[in-house]
């Protein structure tokens, strides 16, 4: 009886590692919905019949009640697909307009997604702005098919998404830190899936110019990371560049290890050498030792 109880307990638990959790969810979804094409495309992201499905919310739900992990996942998937929430193709534009949000993705997403099927606009630093419908329990990518049916262009979609981003959290916490070298940093950590996208905020420049100077830099190594930096001194930027490269290599939803230059005229790609920074290239997570980790938060 004890062995049976242990086996039942093991079945109730979901893996704690995010990537293994996603793999098990994908397997459960294939079993529950065999007619759907399910593919794991990121650390915690599935491609379901061509639509991106973010599993972060589900992972958080399970982490709060680990003993019922499998039950929670099965209920979530059953509710999701019984309501046909994944199929947004017939939703009217008026219904979803206020829920359209931007996300910044690396150009490399098109290695496993068709560029022609994903609604997007080009951005800087080899990235693109894609668009999602933000629903209570999930986000679903917007396709070019929807965009065409709604009768709007990608540029109009971008304008709407930026406006919604401005309104999404009109007040959010920003932590300011002064480095040992004299540089300044501003960190946003809402952890709502849109931290990196906040480089697109219309009021970003005016909110930071007094603290960081007339031209400043922004790092968004991953979806849930946003760090704005003063444009010097160079030792400060070199150290923070090293951290950005590390975070880009280790965090889920990586975007870019490049820096963005924010001026009164807008956002552009930054040339590191112009700020006295030597670009770190051709290295992976193994290049960073634990000694650096001890220093990584001393911005």
Residue 109, in any domain of the structure: yes
Residue 87, in any domain of the structure: no
pLDDT over 60 (residue 84) = no
Residue 267, in any domain of the structure: yes
- In Å, how far from its chain's centre is CA 203? 20
Structure token digits, residue 205:
């420049």
Least confident range of 240-244, 252-256, 278-282: 278-282
pLDDT over 70 (residue 297) = no
Query: Are 226 and 285 found together in one domain?
Result: yes
Q: Which pLDDT belongs to residue 26?
A: 94
- Greater pLDDT, 216 or 288: 216
Q: Which of residues 114, 135, 168 is at a domain's end?
A: 168
Q: Which of residues 82, 104, 130 is at a domain's end?
A: 82
Range of the domain at 109: 93-168
Query: Are 249 and 181 found together in one domain?
Result: yes
pLDDT over 60 (residue 83) = no
- Greater pLDDT, 266 or 287: 266
Query: Are 128 and 48 found together in one domain?
Result: no
Query: Are 113 and 137 found together in one domain?
Result: yes
Query: Are 6 and 99 found together in one domain?
Result: no
Q: Which pLDDT belongs to residue 298?
A: 43
Query: Are 206 and 275 found together in one domain?
Result: yes
Q: Which pLDDT belongs to residue 6?
A: 42
| Mean per-residue pLDDT over the chain, rounded | 86
Query: Are 210 and 253 found together in one domain?
Result: yes
- Greater pLDDT, 57 or 271: 271
Query: Are 188 and 287 found together in one domain?
Result: yes
What mean pLDDT comes out for the span 101-108?
96
pLDDT over 80 (residue 80) = no
pLDDT tier at 88, thresholds 50, 70, 90 = low
Residue 256, in any domain of the structure: yes
pLDDT tier at 33, thresholds 50, 70, 90 = confident
Query: Are 158 and 193 found together in one domain?
Result: no
Q: Which of residues 147, 168, 189 is at a domain's end?
A: 168
Query: Are 9 and 67 found together in one domain?
Result: yes
Residue 88, in any domain of the structure: no
Residue with tokens 């051709």: 282
Residue 10, in any domain of the structure: yes
Q: Which pLDDT belongs to residue 285?
A: 56
Q: Which pLDDT belongs to residue 161?
A: 99
Q: How many domains does the chain have?
A: 3
pLDDT tier at 213, thresholds 50, 70, 90 = very high
pLDDT tier at 295, thresholds 50, 70, 90 = very low
DSSP the chain: -HHHHHHHHHHH---SSHHHHHHHHHHHHHHH-TTS-EEEEETTEEEETTEEEE-HHHHHHHHT-GGGHHHHHHHHHHHHHHTTTT--TT--HHHHGGGEEEEEEEGGGGGTS-GGGB-EEE-SSSEEEEEEEE-SS-EEEPBHHHHHHHT--HHHHHHHHHHHHHHH-SS--EEEEE-TTS-EEEEE---SS-TGGGGG-TTHHHHHHHHH-SSEEEE-SBTT-EEEEES--HHHHHHHHHHHHHHHHHSSSB--SSEEEEETTEEEE--GGGGT-PPP-S--GGGS-HHHHHHTT--
Query: Are 161 and 228 found together in one domain?
Result: no
Query: Are 145 and 194 found together in one domain?
Result: no
């Amino acid at each position: 009886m004890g062995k049976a109880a242990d086996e039942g307990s093991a079945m109730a638990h979901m893996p704690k590692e995010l990537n293994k959790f996603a793999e098990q969810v994908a397997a459960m979804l294939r079993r529950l919905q065999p007619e759907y094409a399910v593919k794991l495309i990121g650390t915690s992201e599935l491609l379901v019949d061509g639509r991106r499905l973010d599993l972060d919310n589900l992972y958080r739900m399970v982490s709060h009640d680990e003993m019922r992990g499998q039950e929670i996942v099965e209920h979530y998937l059953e509710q999701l697909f019984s309501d046909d929430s994944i199929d947004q193709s017939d939703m009217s534009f008026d219904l979803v307009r206020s829920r359209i949000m931007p996300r910044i993705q690396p150009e490399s997403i098109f290695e496993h997604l068709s560029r022609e099927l994903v609604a997007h606009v080009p951005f800087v630093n080899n990235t693109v702005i894609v668009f999602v419908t933000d629903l209570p329990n999930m986000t679903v990518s917007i396709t070019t098919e929807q965009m065409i049916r709604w009768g709007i262009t990608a540029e109009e979609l971008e304008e709407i998404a930026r406006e919604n981003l401005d309104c999404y959290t009109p007040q959010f916490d920003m932590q300011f830190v002064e480095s040992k070298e004299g540089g300044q940093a501003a960190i946003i950590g809402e952890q709502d899936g849109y931290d990196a996208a906040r480089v697109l905020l219309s009021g970003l420049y005016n909110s930071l110019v007094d603290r960081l100077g007339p031209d400043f830099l922004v790092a968004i190594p991953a979806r849930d990371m946003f760090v704005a930096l003063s444009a010097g001194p160079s030792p400060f930027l070199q150290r923070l560049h090293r951290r950005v490269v590390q975070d880009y290599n280790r965090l889920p939803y990586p975007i870019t290890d490049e820096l963005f230059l924010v001026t009164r005229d807008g956002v552009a790609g930054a040339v590191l050498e112009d700020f006295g920074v030597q670009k770190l290239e051709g290295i992976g997570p193994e290049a960073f030792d634990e000694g650096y980790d001890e220093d990584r938060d001393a911005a």
